Chain A
Amino acid sequence: MEQNVSSTSYQPEEVSSTRRVILASSVGTLIEWYDFYIFGSLAKIISEQFFPKDNPTAALLATLATFAAGFVVRPFGALFFGRLGDLIGRKYTFLVTLVIMGGSTFAIGLVPGYKTIGFVAPAIVFVLRLLQGLALGGEYGGAATYVAEHSPSDKRGYFTSYIQTTATFGLFVSLGIILIVRQSLGLEAFTTWGWRIPFLVSILLVAISIYIRMKMSESPLFAKLKKEGKTSANPLAESFQKKDNLKMVLLALLGATAGQGVVWYTGQFYALSFLQNACNIEFVQSNIIISIALVLGTPFFIVFGALSDKIGRKAIMTIGMLIAVISYRPIYTMMYNDANLKNKVEIAEKTEKKVKYEVKGTDSLITTVTTKAFTDGTTFKETKKEKFPVDPEAKAALPKDKLKPETKKETILPQNIFYRMIGFVFIQVIFVTMVYGPIAAFLVELFPTRIRYTSMSLPYHIGNGVFGGLVPLISTRLVEATRPGPDLPPADPLAGLWYPIIIAAVCFVIGSLYISNKVNNMDME
């Protein structure tokens, strides 16, 4: 049965059918995000299992596998699967991406470690990570296009915004499953073999999603095009060699997705890294702050998606970028000041220092734990570990950097500041929902049905995978550049914000000047 997707004749049974479409698409996309995130969440264990610490080539490969393969390869997946989606259809293409993502994730859970098969282990993991990135590159455009092509014009922003929530939910599911497995098995078993379970579980989730998706029919707009023999013979050439389309791809990238990508990664990922590294907030508390802010903020993807149907996509996205650009520095300054121990009054009599001396084989280990309490209820713990050979001659022979103590700082915030931190991150999540909620509808409306999958996928994945994905790397680097010396704190801990601020500012100007706020239905009916 072909669906009429124009707005006025949209019947209740069609709404129910669209809900099934949204569910089928969203569950699959959520699972792909889950697969993509567990690699990141378990990166430390993966590097210990598959990459030898003393082999610099393998270490380099590990770094490239984490950064390059995961993010940079996504635009290539967008091109490959986008082309396929415009040639053979949306439904079968995003079934293929799901199988590849699920298969490669499952396979990572089966690869023997470096101790068993040597250098082949990181090489296999690298290839599997490449496949994960490629699959994700193909998945999102397919799901967004598929839902949009089933949606009535006056609800397109609302319906596609459900796809936008999947990235956040995927992160939750991945953290949830990892936490459950870790708690059930205990830390040692989890580190030894239990970490494989979240990867292996993926195959079950993917099987369920494939079953749901198999029952769905092809997008009505694509089916109509195919029936009329009007599909594109060469979607890549039509998308990027024809001036009329290429200029819209560039506009989508520079006027929307690049800014959206950096705002998304700043609010969802950089905020966590800032809490842990710049503010030294304890691991569990910082994760709770982010989780609560994300839970509270996630419904706003749908709010802004729906609102974009009423007041336009551009208005919401550009306002989101502008507020982010203006308020990032003040928000992060307040976060930093709230956690900064220099702004607090220490209760001297509560300060404790414990020193433990151990001999492990030929090495001595001195662990110094200092705890401090402050009048506002903040507590601070510093754990310093110094490891050196028992033999004084061997110790003297070691270079200075090998004798550098390993220091871990953990601040636990009192309840009132903890809630303020949630508020600061929540505000950033709202920016994320403003720029990300309407983006799927905006992108699909920008391109014609015959080349939509290809054309929208590329700017989306360059914006998110490259501009957004590089936020942690570039921002950390910018902060490091302000460090006056190797053991001194950075002069400007907020310097990392300049990257998302500049990209979002340029994107705001281009989006405001060149993008139309009118909903484009030219090729959607």
Chain B
Amino acid sequence: MSAIKKLAGIIWSVLGLGIIPLAILRAMQEIGAKPSEENWIFWSIVIVVLMPIISFSLIAFGVFALKGEYDHID
């Protein structure tokens, strides 16, 4: 079980890292295509609020899992 937890840690970290360029590129594409107020508000909330929380928590959680910090929990 510990091995699975550690291995999955890599997945969480990669996921957390991957979300950053994905969200930024998508925001640029959509705002570029239609720079409406709606688009600006939506993507501002995603980029400023949601993305940092998801990315930071997944990366940090993944690193902790990889280091075996959750191995003692059964």
Contacts and interface: CB of A to CB of B under 8 A. Distances in A.
Decide whether A and B are members of one complex.
yes
Interface of A: 56, 59-60, 63-64, 67-68, 72, 243, 246-247, 250-251, 253-254, 462, 466-467, 470, 473-474, 477, 509-510, 513-516, 518
Given A247-B69, A514-B73, A56 B45 contact: no
B50 interface: yes
A68 B50 CA distance: 11
Given A63-B41, A250-B64, A516 B69 contact: no
Contacts of A250: 57, 60-61, 64
- The interface residues of chain B, by DSSP majority, are classed as helix
Q: Return the 9 tightest CB-CB contacts between A and B, nearest first.
A: A250-B61, A247-B64, A514-B70, A516-B73, A247-B69, A254-B61, A250-B57, A72-B49, A63-B41
Interface residues of B, number: 22
A64 B53 CA distance: 19
Q: Among B8, B50, B61, B74, which residue has the most Cβ atoms of chain A within 10 A?
A: B61
B28 to A, nearest CB: 16
6 contacts: A247-B64, A253-B57, A254-B61, A466-B49, A509-B8, A518-B74
Contacts of B46: 474
A254 B57 contact: yes
B57 A466 contact: no
Contact of A470 (B5, B41, B50): B50
A462 B53 contact: yes
B73 A254 contact: no
Interface in B15-74: 37, 41-42, 45-46, 49-50, 53, 57-58, 60-61, 64-65, 69-70, 73-74
A254 B55 CA distance: 11
A60 B37 contact: yes
A356 to B, nearest CB: 33
Contacts of B60: 246, 250
A516 B58 contact: no
Contacts of A467: 50
Interface of B: 4-5, 8, 12, 37, 41-42, 45-46, 49-50, 53, 57-58, 60-61, 64-65, 69-70, 73-74
B45 A473 contact: yes
Nearest to A506: B15
A251 B41 contact: no
B67 to A, nearest CB: 9
A466 B54 CA distance: 10
A133 B5 CA distance: 36
Given A247-B61, A466-B49, A514-B65, 20 more contacts: A60-B37, A60-B41, A68-B49, A243-B64, A246-B60, A247-B64, A247-B69, A247-B70, A250-B60, A250-B61, A254-B58, A470-B45, A473-B42, A477-B42, A509-B8, A513-B5, A513-B8, A514-B5, A514-B73, A515-B73
Contacts of A470: 45, 49-50
B51 to A, nearest CB: 11
B52 to A, nearest CB: 10
A470 B49 CA distance: 10
A74 B31 CA distance: 28
Contacts of B37: 56, 59-60
Nearest to B15: A506
A67 B45 contact: yes
A251 B61 contact: yes
A312 to B, nearest CB: 12
Nearest to B49: A72
Nearest to A517: B74
Contacts of A514: 5, 65, 70, 73
B50 to A, nearest CB: 6
B73 to A, nearest CB: 5
Nearest to B73: A516
Contacts of A63: 41
Contacts of B74: 516, 518
Contacts of B70: 247, 251, 514
Nearest to B40: A60
Q: Among A59, A247, A250, A518, which residue has the most Cβ atoms of chain B within 10 A?
A: A250
Contacts of A56: 37
A425 B69 CA distance: 40
A260 B4 CA distance: 24
A261 B41 CA distance: 22
A68 B49 CA distance: 9
Q: Among A64, A251, A518, which residue has the most Cβ atoms of chain B within 10 A?
A: A251
A466 B57 CA distance: 13
A139 to B, nearest CB: 21
Nearest to A56: B37
Nearest to A459: B57
B6 to A, nearest CB: 11
A462 B41 CA distance: 20
A470 B12 CA distance: 22
Nearest to B39: A477
B4 A513 contact: yes
A307 B69 CA distance: 29
Contacts of B50: 466-467, 470
Contacts of B8: 509, 513
Contacts of B45: 67-68, 72, 470, 473
Contacts of A72: 45, 49
